[in-house]
Chains A and B, each alone.
Chain A
Amino acid sequence: MSSGHHLLYRPGDSVVHRLPAQVKIVCALLGVLCVVATPRTEFLAFAGYLVLLAVIWAIAAVPFGHIARRAVIEVPFVVIALVMPFLGGGDRITVLGMSLSEQGTLAGWNILAKGTLGVLVSLTLAATTTPGELVVGLQRLRAPAVITTIATLMLRYLEVIAAEARRMRTARVSRGHDPRFLWQVGATARGIGTLFVRSYERGERVHLAMVSRGWTGRMPDYGAPATLRTWLTGLTPVLVTGAVLAAAVWLP
């Protein structure tokens, strides 16, 4: 989208990057469903999923560090998962001299493993697909037009509104405003109110401009349908995930 500073996207020209967004979205969603459906004691299956993700990162040339740094968002859930072995009831087991609940340990592991894999899958999708492509992909998947339209406009106007907020801040600071004290925060709050009103008015003007160019409620579709071959290529990871899941469930 906004060329230059991407938060999650890592520009590249790999097979993974070039896949149509709708294929990648479906792949990520089905992949996560497989992970969630895996019984928590099938430890090898989870290891298999991680290996599969590592292969995808290698193909897409996304360094592990890129993914790892952004996966930090998961930390609050990790904390919960780590607390559970101590709080759970039922049979106790002793690990390194600590008495842990067996049920709690498994529940914690379940959250940790599935949550981490889910976050990693999302980050992989975001690292290889721009926000704009994601919206086009959702549109091709027949997501409600209202949602894709709002997402498109949000992506476009985030920067405009941020720039407006910066200008208003500069104007305040230039007139001696220095919101270090509690009683000065009021001006900042009023600024946010003003920003809302301005954004609302801009929304009305943008709507006018859209209607003037024949808009009737649906954004034009800029994507292209993916061929069967592309779908099969793109869904390979899901097929592998499904195979691992099936093996874990049915093999003794």
Chain B
Amino acid sequence: MAAVTGEPTPPALLVERLAYAYPDGHQALYGVDLRVEPGERVAVLGPNGAGKTTLVLHLNGVLTGGTGRIEVAGLPVVKSNLREIRRRVGIVFQDPDDQLFMPTVAQDVAFGPANFGLSGDALTKRVHEALDAVGMAGHLDRSPPHLSGGQRRRVALATVLACDPEILVLDEPSSNLEPVARRELAEVLLELGRTTLMVTHDLPYALQLCPRSVLIDDGVVVADGPTRDLLADTALLAAHRLELPYGFRLD
């Protein structure tokens, strides 16, 4: 849209001076700035309690009431835009059992697009495309609890892809996955080629999937740069309770 009027394309995600304190007074974010361009894959790294999840829940307006500004593809996250914002920001939560709440895979994948107004053949087509993209096309009528961990994670991704989001937000995508499932998920994510924000502790996974990383600690962005450079800075990692797994080398 912006291109038609001659303006530069807005960033896929813009977060400016975002600060937030929970109702109990705990200040989780102290002014986060983040800009993600369309097509970028960015890892959000940081120790437990750094404010990563709080940031994620602000992106689609589930948490509000903080100060600062968030825009998704040029659209500010404010109450009157919430419906469109939630379509544009696709969050894949950490536990697929929380994400997959419908009786069958097909119904679960259809849940989002149906809420956003799709129906009939268009809805069916969208469901098939999304499941196809994650390699789960043959499991339409399966019950989510009967899938393997890796399959569940990929279906959870499909439920969000079906909404055709501007930006994918993944919360710890590799947690609890066996090595093969972890690699398969990485292949799917690389194949998708979508703008992605990936919150993770899994530093090798960040290196594999995201050219750029942002390090958050104590509610502020403490480093932002190429993932390889960040991970090579042992002192920086150590200062923020992060470290590469035993035996892992960056060369």
Q: Measuring CB to CB, which residues of chain A are less than 8 angstroms from any residue of chain B?
A: 1-3, 132, 152-153, 155-157, 159-160, 163, 202, 205-206, 208-216, 220, 222
Contacts and interface: CB of A to CB of B under 8 A. Distances in A.
Given A160-B97, A208-B62, A208-B93, A215 B115 contact: yes
Contact of A160 (B111, B142, B145): B145
A3 B112 contact: no
Contacts of B112: 213-214
Count class of interface residues, chain B? 20 to 34
B86 interface: yes
Contact of A213 (B104, B145, B163): B163
A160, A205, A209 — which one has the most chain B CB atoms within 10 A of its CB? A209
A130 to B, nearest CB: 9
Contacts of A210: 101, 111
B86 A211 contact: yes
Nearest to B94: A205
Contacts of B144: 156
Contacts of A202: 97-98
Nearest to B141: A3
Contacts of A159: 145
Interface string B32-76: 000000000000000000000000010010100000000000000
A156 B112 CA distance: 17
A153 B146 contact: no
Interface in B106-120: 107, 110-112, 114-116
B21 interface: no
A206 B62 contact: no
Given A2-B143, A214-B115, A156 B102 contact: yes
B213 interface: no
Contact of B143 (A3, A208, A211, A222): A3
A205 B93 contact: yes
A202 B112 CA distance: 19
A214 B114 CA distance: 9
B91 interface: yes
A148 to B, nearest CB: 12
A20 B97 CA distance: 29
